[in-house]
């Protein structure tokens, strides 16, 4: 991350795979993002994996995330 950007969390999940996949989709849309793994390294059941984007791209990222199906079986 660079000091010139204020990064904000736009998504939390218990799945690192889900966060990485969503980050890839956002990057394909031209929205920079980073994945922060805040899970306990010994017990992955504790904590979250967060997806952060620059504050000025927050609304765009949230609009993209909200248009995705909530249940993968809906597609």
Domains, the chain, with CATH or none: 7-68 (3.30.70)
- Mapped onto helix, strand or coil, the DSSP state of residue 13 is strand
Percent of the chain surpassing pLDDT 70 = 80
Q: Averaged over 43-59, what is the pLDDT?
A: 87
Compute the distance between CA of residue 47 and CA of residue 70 in angstroms, rounded to an integer.
Answer: 21
β-sheet with 49-54: strand ranges across: 7-13, 49-54, 34-37
Residue 2 reports pLDDT greater than 90: no
| pTM for this model (two decimals) | 0.79
Q: Tens of pLDDT along 14-41?
A: 888 999 999 999 999 999 999 998 887 7
Question: Is the pLDDT at 56 greater than 80, yes or no?
Answer: yes
Would you place residue 66 in the very low, low, confident or very high pLDDT band (cuts 50, 70, 90)? very high
- The neighbouring-strand residues paired with 35 are 51
β-bridge partners, 36: 50
Question: Could you tell me which residues come within 8 angstroms of residue 69 by beta carbon, excluding any fewer than 6 positions away?
Answer: 75
């Amino acid at each position: 991350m660079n000091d010139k950007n204020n990064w904000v969390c736009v998504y939390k999940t218990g799945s690192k795979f889900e966060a990485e996949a969503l980050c890839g989709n956002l990057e394909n849309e031209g929205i920079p993002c980073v994945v922060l793994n805040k899970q306990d390294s010994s017990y992955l059941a504790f904590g979250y994996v967060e997806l952060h984007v620059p504050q000025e791209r927050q609304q765009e990222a949230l609009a993209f995330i909200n248009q995705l199906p909530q249940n993968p079986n809906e597609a």
